[in-house]
Amino acid sequence: MITLCHRLAFIIIVISSIQAISIDNDIVGEPDIECLDEEIRVWVKTRKPFAGRIYAKGRADIEECYKDDFAKERTKKPHFDLRFGVCGMRSLRSVGFCLKS
């Protein structure tokens, strides 16, 4: 019979090993963001081909709020489209202007 102590020790070991996993890839520069009529599109440039997940903050488990099929694309510039009205996204229209001196 497994005691509570054994279970806790096992959980601590698993968590420690998960935290020790290192991913050998980096984001290069700033993300590119394109504002479209119905969505925004975000590109992130990485040093090596990206095989992870891009998601809206706080919504990593909601299907329409993440993209994680990058491994088959073998891309160094993954992109993610996020529609307005889902995942807490709202569209805010503003008028841009330029000041000249």
Counted domains in the chain: 1
Q: Which residue has the higher pLDDT, 44 or 3?
A: 44
Structural domain includes residue 78: yes
Q: Assign 39 a pLDDT band (cuts: 50, 70, 90).
A: confident
Structural domain includes residue 29: yes
pLDDT number for residue 76 = 92
Tell me: pLDDT of 57 over 60. Answer: yes
Structural domain includes residue 101: no
Structural domain includes residue 2: no
Q: Assign 25 a pLDDT band (cuts: 50, 70, 90).
A: confident
H-helix segments, 2-91: 4-19
Residues 69-78: what's their mean pLDDT? 87
Residues 50-73: what's their mean pLDDT? 87
> CA 4, CA 67: separation in Å to the nearest integer?
38
Domain span at residue 60 reads 23-83
Structural domain includes residue 88: no
For 64, how many CA atoms within 13 A lie in the half-sphere containing its CB? 9
Q: Which residue has the higher pLDDT, 40 or 101?
A: 40
Structural domain includes residue 54: yes
Tell me: pLDDT of 23 over 80. Answer: no
Structural domain includes residue 93: no
Structural domain includes residue 70: yes
Q: Assign 48 a pLDDT band (cuts: 50, 70, 90).
A: very high
